[in-house]
Amino acid sequence: MMKKLLLLAAIALLAFALWPFVRDVGLAEPGELATAYLERGPAELGTANVVTSIVVSYRGFDTLGEVTVLFTATAGVGGLLARRKSGHGKKKAAERGATDASEILKTASRLLSPLLVLFGVYIFLHGHLTPGGGFQGGVVIATAVLIGLLADPEAGLAHGVMHVVEGLSGFAYVALGAVGLWFTGVQAGFLDPRFLPLGELGRLASAGAIPIIYSLVGLKVGAELTGILDAMKEDAE
């Protein structure tokens, strides 16, 4: 009884604490900082999508942190799962008694996977124009690979290619950030994309180096998450 009362009190307290956010949801005026971002983002960096200008450039260091966190998590999962896998040999699907994927899933995956990869590439290439960016595009690419893995459990991934893509894009991302830091000018910061011409607002080739930076992030995230899924799949077998 006492436990339930305490639980109810905790829920009520949480609801009371969060109520202002619910009440003021949606249509509040942007604050001073948000207004500054909204006004200066398109003018300074040439991005139609203000979120991208914040994620890639104004708060570039935070994004570097996110990429590092993701990398560490992937390395951790890969390390843990690889160590326990080395004990026993890999069994064939038939020996495990696994059932074959249905014809519908196989056909749909053959149709959908390439389209999903294309959509993922579209998302991160247009990160400076439309919603989304490197992270979202990378995850969409990983889902494309996932559908392929579900449809054909015997399919193997080209691990070498994945590692090369991941390593190279990660390195290039940090290198581009450093280039922005050193070569843009007096007011430059880490991941300043303005060492390339800004171009015209709303064009694909605009916003300086942002499309390149976000493409690198997209490739890296896609390769990492694909690696996690592949490790989990091989471990589950």
Span 6-35, contacts to another protein by CB under 8 A: 25-27
Q: Least Å distance between CB 4 and another protein? A: 15
Nearest residue (CB) to another protein, 26 versus 160: 26
**Residues 121 and 218 sit within 8 Å (Cβ to Cβ):** yes
Q: Least Å distance between CB 183 and another protein? A: 29
Residue 222 CA to residue 208 CA, distance in Å, equals 23
Residue 115 CA to residue 225 CA, distance in Å, equals 18
Taking CB under 8 A as the binding criterion, the range among 61-69, 166-174, 202-210, 226-234 that sits at the site for another protein is: 226-234
Residue 151 CA to residue 105 CA, distance in Å, equals 6
Nearest residue (CB) to another protein, 192 versus 230: 230
Is 202 a residue that touches another protein (CB under 8 A)?
Answer: no
Nearest to 220 by CA among 116, 138, 146: 138
Angle ∠(110,111,112) on CA atoms, nearest 5? 100
Interface with another protein (CB under 8 A): 25-27, 49, 51, 88, 123, 131-133, 135-136, 139-140, 142-143, 146, 225, 228-229, 232-233, 235-236
